[in-house]
Amino acid sequence: MISLDALDALVRLCPPPAEPPRAVDWAQAERALGTALPADYKQLVETYGDGIFDDAVWLLVPGSAYSDCDLHAQTAERDEILAGLWEFEAKPAGLLEAGARVLPWAFEEGTGAFLYWLVRPGQHPDEWTVLYNEGRGPLWEDHAMGCVAFLLAVLTGTAETEYFGYLCEVLKPTEHRFLTADQTLGAARR
């Protein structure tokens, strides 16, 4: 599901930081998670790093200096939260398959909503699709595409979603922007 065209279109739409982001040790990150990660996500992280698209979508990155943006910290936190939630709330249909799980890759500013990959047994990471959870409610949306294609669809207003419509309808960005976590949250001590 790798789409270099989607990443190229995203870069044209929303220019990445002038300074390249900090390098990620992908082998170590994947060992810590116990799974490989999609190639389009790795390219997204290598292009942008941790930060926020259009003041709305925060990208999680392995080893971020900010726990809110750290893929590992958010994975552990979301696993704990969802395990408690699913004791009394139904899991989304995609998670009913034995061994299926979710892995967060981004979250929506100020809403509690997360974007996850649906990780299914025996499925290559490049085939993972996106699940959106509204965060403060039981609703989940399934999107049959990878993270870069979904992010591009959200920013261009073409995503078929009940959420994110405000990006095009309310914010009406005349140009899209990405701010690094350091720019938004203040330089972290590394």
| Higher-confidence position of 173 and 135 | 135
> Residue 173: pLDDT above 80?
no
pLDDT band of residue 186 (cuts 50, 70, 90) is confident
pLDDT digits (tens, 9 = 90+) for 111-157: 888 999 999 999 999 999 999 998 777 788 899 999 999 999 888 88
- β 129-133/114-119 pair status: antiparallel
Cα 52 to Cα 154: distance, rounded to the nearest angstrom: 13
pLDDT digits (tens, 9 = 90+) for 28-75: 999 999 999 999 999 999 999 999 998 889 999 999 999 999 999 999
Cα 113 to Cα 57: distance, rounded to the nearest angstrom: 10
Residue 145 makes CB contacts below 8 A (sequence gap 6+) with 1, 129, 130, 153
> Residue 126 in contact with residue 119, Cβ under 8 Å?
no
Name the pTM for this structure.
0.91
34-55 as b/e, with b when 16 or more CB fall inside 10 Å? eeebbbbbbbbbbbbbbbbbbe
What rounded mean pLDDT belongs to the chain? 88
The pLDDT of residue 103 is 97
